[in-house]
């Protein structure tokens, strides 16, 4: 634990800043406009429902999968020096998932039918990468978080092309989560992901899996 305490101050500081941001964001967003996304007061009139359905369904699935990955990593490495760092990233994923659970209710979107599969696959990926060691777990984090943040970026472009004013609040959520995922990616690099055994192959394989998961979760 002492090693973790010595190695992680910068990361903890970053995460703390981020987590404080998360809490503050929903309580009092910039500009003083109250967010209503966690209530059922979202106006569904005039929105492009198929596009929003697809975005919220896949993002919910992604955050659900991320939670299961970190659960798997914690099952293996929870007591190791990287345990506290993984736990803090997992805590943020719990916030993300909670938000998308609320958005699903607000926008009346059903979850993907693949959730039971992502439940198992996420945990196996997390635990499996952690069995390769701390660097293996971090390589998995880098691969997954890069895929998720890239995907959030493409959704941001879609929503801006649709109507940035209409989807202002959803954009705010996705942009913030994109930044959080980017931070997780950087933490993975900081903790020597690139020194994992067969890093390039591992990263490519995991990202192919992420692409397939995104493709399927958007559609079914
Ligand atoms: Fe997330
Ligand atoms: Fe993340």
Q: Mind listing the pLDDT tens digit for each residue in 85-101?
A: 999 999 999 999 999 99
Tell me the CA–centroid distance for residue 184 and ligand 2, in Å.
Answer: 5
Tell me the CA–centroid distance for residue 180 and ligand 2, in Å.
Answer: 6
CA angle (200 as vertex; 119, 195 as ends), nearest 5: 95
Percent of the chain with pLDDT over 90: 77
Choose the weakest-confidence range: 30-34, 60-64, 162-166. 30-34
CA angle (60 as vertex; 57, 65 as ends), nearest 5: 125
Mean pLDDT of 15-40: 40
* pLDDT at residue 25 is higher than 90: no
Tell me the CA–centroid distance for residue 84 and ligand 2, in Å.
Answer: 15
User: What ligand is nearest to the CA atom of residue 98?
Assistant: 1
Domains assigned to the chain:
2-219 (1.20.910)
pLDDT band at 10 (very low <50, low <70, confident <90, very high): very low
**What pLDDT, on a 0 to 100 scale, did the predictor assign at position 41?**
63
User: What ligand is nearest to the CA atom of residue 97?
Assistant: 1
User: What ligand is nearest to the CA atom of residue 70?
Assistant: 2
**Torsion-angle region of 143 (φ positive above 0: left; ψ -120 to 50: alpha; else: beta):** alpha
Give the residue numbers of the binding site for Fe cation: 63, 93, 96, 145, 181, 184
* pLDDT at residue 31 is higher than 70: no
User: What ligand is nearest to the CA atom of residue 147?
Assistant: 2
Could you tell me which of 176, 119, 136, 187 has the C-alpha nearest to residue 153? 176
d(CA 30, CA 49): 27
* pLDDT at residue 76 is higher than 90: yes
Tell me the CA–centroid distance for residue 181 and ligand 2, in Å.
Answer: 4
């Amino acid at each position: 634990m002492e090693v973790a305490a010595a190695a992680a101050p910068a990361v903890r500081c970053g995460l703390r800043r981020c987590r404080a941001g998360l809490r503050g964001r929903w309580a009092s967003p910039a500009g003083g406009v109250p967010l209503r996304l966690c209530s059922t007061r979202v106006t569904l009139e005039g929105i492009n429902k198929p596009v929003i359905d697809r975005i919220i369904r896949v993002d919910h699935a992604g955050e659900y999968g991320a939670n299961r990955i970190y659960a798997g990593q914690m099952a293996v490495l929870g007591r190791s020096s990287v345990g506290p760092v993984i736990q803090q990233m997992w805590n943020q994923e719990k916030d993300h998932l909670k938000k998308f659970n609320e958005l699903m209710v607000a926008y009346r979107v059903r979850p993907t039918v693949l959730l039971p599969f992502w439940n198992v696959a996420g945990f196996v990926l997390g635990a499996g990468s952690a069995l390769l060691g701390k660097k293996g777990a971090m390589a998995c984090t880098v691969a997954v978080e890069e895929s998720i943040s890239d995907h959030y970026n493409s959704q941001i472009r879609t929503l801006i092309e649709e109507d940035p004013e209409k989807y202002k609040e959803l954009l705010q959520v996705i942009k913030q989560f994109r930044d959080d995922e980017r931070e997780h990616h950087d933490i993975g690099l900081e903790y020597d992901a690139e020194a994992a055994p067969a890093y390039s192959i591992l990263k490519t394989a995991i990202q192919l899996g992420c692409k397939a998961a995104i493709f399927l979760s958007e559609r079914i």
